[in-house]
Amino acid sequence: MFEKLGTAAKHIQSIYPTTPKVGIVLGSGLGAFIDSISDPTIIPYSEIPFFRNTTVEGHEGRLILGKIDNVEVAVLQGRLHGYEGLPMDEVVFPVRVLATLGIESLILTNAAGGINTSFIPGDLVVIEDHINMLGTNPLVGPNISELGPRFPDMTRAYNVDLKNILRDSADELKINIKSGIYCALLGPTYETPAEIKMLRAIGADMVGMSTVPESIAANHLGLKVCGVSCITNMAAGINDEKLTHDDVKIQALKVMELFSTLLSKAITKMNQID
């Protein structure tokens, strides 16, 4: 695994030699954020050694390198999910490659169902913390000690400085940003109303099928991590609506402009901390 990371990173460096500072993973329907990148270099996952391609509609499967306001970024447009049948170490491989390239901070984004009834579709939510209900963990198996410790601390999985930067950026842009606990389930089914009741009882504010594996792998690597959920629907059973991936993508597109402005501002500020 460690050697594979080096091979993938070397290939990317041969195309784009500059070290990225901030990594970004784009969630369902949020791929248009890449329009904010100046002079983008685009590398399809299929051309990067050992990268698996995503099978999910709304996820492009491309790595984009370039600048946002003079900050070097590496953006994963299209993520891999456990429900695609991939082993967890393949799901987190792209994030580990970004770390090998040298990113210091990682912004995870996703489309999520709102469990907290004060949320509405279209809300942007800073991920305060997460609950892992995937039934697995990307660090299961022999520890790769070159990457990090056997038992990583997760008490501050979402970096306080980065969370503050997201909130300050939203304030400056007059975006009403919320905060919440993200819970990941394996999927690919959406949840039942009974499951949503259970998730609310254990303290979840929003639910999705991603983010947690990457967050765990990035914490293992010692990266600073933060996350933003885009609430695309109220979770199952909160209203009468059925859930569809098309509606999730449509709602994500609706907040695209706000989301891109927020992320761009936050990235500029992240460049100013060490």
Binding site for ligand HPA (CB under 6 A): 111-113, 190-191, 207-209, 232-233, 235, 243, 248
Helices (H) and strands (E) in the chain, counts: 8, 9
Question: Distance (Å, rounded) from C-alpha 141 to C-alpha 132?
Answer: 17
Classified as helix, coil or strand, 26 is strand
Pull the structure tokens for residue 134.
């995937």
Q: Per the residue annotation, which of 53, 83, 164, 260 is the catalytic one?
A: 83
CB of 189 to ligand HPA, least distance (A): 9
233 is catalytic: yes
Pull the structure tokens for residue 157.
């999985």
CB of 110 to ligand HPA, least distance (A): 7
Q: Per the residue annotation, which of 233, 236, 252, 270 is the catalytic one?
A: 233
Report the 10 Å Cβ neighbour count for 4. Answer: 16
Query: By C-beta, is 36 or 211 nearer to ligand HPA?
Result: 211
Query: By C-beta, is 158 or 190 nearer to ligand HPA?
Result: 190
Query: By C-beta, is 34 or 111 nearer to ligand HPA?
Result: 111
220 is catalytic: no
| Residue listed under structure tokens 């279209």 | 122
219 is catalytic: no
Show Cβ contacts of residue 84 under 8 Å, excluding neighbours closer than 6 positions: 54, 55, 56
81 is catalytic: yes
Q: What is the dihedral of CA 189, 195, 200, 203, to 10 degrees?
A: -80
111 is catalytic: yes
CB of 80 to ligand HPA, least distance (A): 15
Give the catalytic positions in this structure: 28, 59, 81, 83-84, 111, 209-210, 233, 245
